[in-house]
């Protein structure tokens, strides 16, 4: 199987939520591709069990350029501060709005605090992260790219996901609306919709998914529906993000790239 390698040398990439999970895998991939990476997260320490050092340090140890900026994406002012940090390096070339939180609750048990927390990080963070990056790109007359992290949970209901899925549905429309309005400015906006990926948010999913594979249709009722041969890992998302941010996707905007290994074809 052939490979496509990206060259992002000379470009500055912001990855929100880049300390762990999908964000970390994407940030490391951009670092390997030559970009200067800014990890915007509430903490530098990774939550991944197999990660031994902060993302920005790992990129530097591989010969790349990266830094960490403490950021609560639910606060638009902090997102503007991250963009200001990127401006010191020439400006935002690629914005990856990936930061997200998940709190499992049955619909009638979701509290206003739960709702505000999840919507504040996921939807609000994506909206104003897109806005802050776009304003910088437009001011510099730069053909910038924004990629948002949606989810396949926005496509079908799941137990205890109502408030989380609502944020991912919002991200789908934020992406399409921004793509429409920013196309004339030369700014492309797309999203990636991961299926269940083994991260700290979906703890235990990978093991349950693996057990359900090859069970001849007799899956555990609580296991995810799988049609692929393995469970998803954060590194599986790196390529799709790099593609959407690259020149190879220059004619792609307002699209959602579903990356789920066929987990929810039904």
CATH number, position 119: 3.40.50.720
The answer, yes or no, to whether residue 37 has pLDDT greater than 60, is yes
Assign 49 a pLDDT band (cuts: 50, 70, 90).
confident
- Both 221 and 170 in one domain: the answer is no
Instruction: Let me know whether 43 and 20 are in one domain.
Output: yes
At 100-156, the pLDDT tens digits run 999 899 999 999 999 999 999 999 999 999 999 999 999 999 899 999 999 998 888
Q: How far apart (Å, rounded) are the C-alpha atoms in residues 58 and 124?
A: 29
CB proximity list for 35: less than 8 A, separation 6 or greater = 8, 9, 11, 12, 13, 64, 65, 93, 94
Q: Is residue 144 assigned to a domain?
A: yes
Same domain membership, residue 218 and residue 186: no
Within 8 A by CB and 6+ apart from 230, the residues are 210, 213, 261
- Going by the DSSP 8-state scheme, the letter that residue 224 receives in this structure is P
pLDDT, tens digit, 9 for 90 and up, residues 154-184: 888 889 999 999 999 999 999 999 999 999 9
Looking at the structure, tell me whether residues 180 and 248 fall in a common domain. yes
Distances, alpha carbon 187 to alpha carbons 97, 190, 203, in Å: 15, 10, 35
Do 212 and 152 share a structural domain?
A: no
pLDDT of residue 198: 77
Quick check: is 255 in a domain?
Answer: yes
For residue 89, the tally of other CB atoms under 10 A from its CB is: 15
17 shares its domain with 148: yes
Summarize pLDDT for 55-83 with one digit per residue, the tens: 999 999 999 999 999 999 999 999 999 99
Mark whether 164 is an active-site residue.
Answer: yes
| 193 and 72 co-located in one domain | yes
Catalytic residue among 164, 241, 243, 251: 164
Comparing 33-47, 86-100, 204-218, which segment has the lowest mean pLDDT? 204-218
Q: Are residues 154 and 209 in the same domain?
A: no
> Domain tally for the chain?
2
Domain coverage including residue 22: 12-197+235-259
- 125 and 224 fall within a common domain: no
pTM: 0.88
Q: Quick check: is 52 in a domain?
A: yes
What per-residue confidence (pLDDT) applies to 230?
64
Residue 6 lies in a domain: no
Question: Which residues are CB-contacts of 212 (< 8 A; sequence separation ≥ 6)?
Answer: 219, 220, 223, 224, 225, 226
pLDDT score for 207: 47
Kindly state whether residue 265 falls inside one of the protein's structural domains: no
97 pLDDT higher than 50: yes
30 and 130 within one domain: yes
Please tell me whether residues 47 and 142 are part of one structural domain: yes
- Under a CB-based contact definition with an 8 Å cutoff, are residues 49 and 33 in contact? no
């Amino acid at each position: 199987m052939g490979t496509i390698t990206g060259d992002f040398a000379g470009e500055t990439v912001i990855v929100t939520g880049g300390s762990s999970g999908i964000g970390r895998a994407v940030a490391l991939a951009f670092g390997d591709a030559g970009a200067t990476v800014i990890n915007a997260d509430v903490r530098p320490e990774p939550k991944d069990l197999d990660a031994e050092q902060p993302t920005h340090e790992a990129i530097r140890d591989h010969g790349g350029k990266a830094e960490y900026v403490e950021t609560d994406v639910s606060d638009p002012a902090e997102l503007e501060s991250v963009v200001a940090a990127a401006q010191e390096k020439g400006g935002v070339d690629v914005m990856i709005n990936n930061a997200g939180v998940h709190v499992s609750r049955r619909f009638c048990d979701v509290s206003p605090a739960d709702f505000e927390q999840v919507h504040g990080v996921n939807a609000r963070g994506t909206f104003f992260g897109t806005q802050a990056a776009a304003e910088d790109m437009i001011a510099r007359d730069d053909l910038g790219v924004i990629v948002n992290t949606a989810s396949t949970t926005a496509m079908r209901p799941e137990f205890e996901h109502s408030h989380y899925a609502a944020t991912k549905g919002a991200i789908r429309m934020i992406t399409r609306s921004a793509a429409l309005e920013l196309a004339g400015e030369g700014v492309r906006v797309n999203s990636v919709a991961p299926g269940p990926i083994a991260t700290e948010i979906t703890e235990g999913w990978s093991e349950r998914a693996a057990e359900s594979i090859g069970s001849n249709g007799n899956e555990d009722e609580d296991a995810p529906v799988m049609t692929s041969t393995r469970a998803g890992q954060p590194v599986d998302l790196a390529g799709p993000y790099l593609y959407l941010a690259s020149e190879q996707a220059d004619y792609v905007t307002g699209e959602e790239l579903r990356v789920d290994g066929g987990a929810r074809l039904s």
